[in-house]
Structure 1
Amino acid sequence: MTDVLIRPAHPFDAAFAVPLIQATIGPIGLALTSASASVEAERALLGFYPLRGNRLSFEHQLIAQSPTGEGLGLILAYPGEHAEALDDPFRERLRALGLPGRIESEGTPGELYVDTLAVTETARGRGIGTRLLDAAADGAVALGLNRVGLLVEDGNPAARLYDRQGFRPAGTRRLAGGTYTHLVRDLT
């Protein structure tokens, strides 16, 4: 699809991005915010979105949009070695709520970790996910990283896209009560 613009996200993208992120990450968003429902998690994530230095900040995202400015999708990615530090604001929030600040960081050092890839329902099947993954790969190379990694839950239909993009299994992880396959794509 040639009429899609891939651009850096801005703080004003929160109203588009946060619901799409929470719809995609589901139980992980609940665990990060200690919310019991997605709408509550979205409210908490809206507070984090415009702030730098956390895993869900606008600064780690690219937005896919139509020529008319309609949001079509996003990719949220950061160097895996930064994952622990980017989770610290969420740990602090949990401790402030009187809860244990346990969050398992997802990124792996040496890779650009794709935290979230999300395409709106109406824009699926148009190559937007591929374009966003390619943009992330370009970003990884620009950062001197030779691998892109992500986690996918069993049964996620996006697994077909990841396979077409050259991702291969590299282990499993348990997060927020779910089991995820760690996929990697070598860029060399």
Structure 2
Amino acid sequence: MTEPVTVRPATPDDAAFAVPLIQETIGHIGLILIGAASDAEAEGVMLAFFARPGNRLSFQNVWIAQRDGETLGLLLGYAGAAAAALDEPFRAHLRERGLPDDFPSEGQPGEWYLDTLAVTEAARGHGLGARLLQEASAQAAAQGLEQVGLLVEHGNRAARLYQREGFVLAEERQLGGHGYNHMTRRVEGA
């Protein structure tokens, strides 16, 4: 019998699993955030940020999904009202490198911002994304927030999952020259 999926808070020791999966998922946003020219360069910098508290990519904002001891995916999120403060360490990093630091923060006040939902290739298509979205709602509720918000790039197949799980289009946004849909879902019981 297969064990159910469990979701636990990340620790700094999860960096080797989490960081490459995060960068694979966020792609060019990670390059902008770090000021990197390649995924490998971005991952190298992200490893240090993952271990540190007080930033968007910190282990403190990540939950790890596992089944039968195998790590399958992750959820990265935080209160949208905290987005600018959580992005400040990245802006400081960019300034130190002499790069522009004017990227917009993604989370919005009043929502729990789902920054990254990522599932390993082998685990895709088995309901893990939906399970992680349940965890996002639980985290929002625990923080007294009434909705979960996320950005999904135009053309990303994940939009179908979000729609099936009750997310609706709130607005369209541009980030780093790419178009995104800002989608939201009310937290049950809120």
Alignment-derived partner of residue 175 in structure 1: 175
Corresponding letter in the other structure for 1:148? V
Which residue number corresponds to residue 4 of structure 1? 5
Q: Which string of whole-angstrom CA distances, capped at 9 and with x for unpartnered residues, describes residues 99-142 of structure 1?
A: 12212100000000000000000000111111111011011011
Task: Give 1:91's aligned residue.
Answer: 91
Match of 2:129 in 1: 129
Q: What is aligned with 2:28?
A: 27
Q: Who is 1:82 aligned against?
A: 82
TM-score by length of 2: 0.96
Secondary structure of 1:49's match?
A: helix
Q: 2:11, 2:129 → 1: CA distance?
A: 20
- Listed as ranges, the gaps of 5+ residues in structure 2 are none
User: Which amino acid in the other structure matches residue 113 of structure 1?
Assistant: Y
Match of 2:157 in 1: 157
Q: 1:149-172: per-residue Cα shift (whole Å, max 9, x none)?
A: 000011111111100110000001
Q: What CA distance in whole angstroms lies between the structure 1 residues aligned with 2:16 and 2:176?
A: 25
What is the CA deviation profile of residues 61-117 of structure 1, one whole-angstrom value per residue up to 9, with x for unaligned ones? 11001222x210000010000000000000000000011221210000000000000
Q: Which residue of 2 aligns with 1:101?
A: 101
Structure 1 CA distance for aligned equivalents of residues 173 and 34 of structure 2:
20
Please state whether the residue corresponding to 2:4 is helix, strand or coil: coil
- How many correspondences in the alignment? 187
Deviation of residue 2 (structure 1)?
5.2
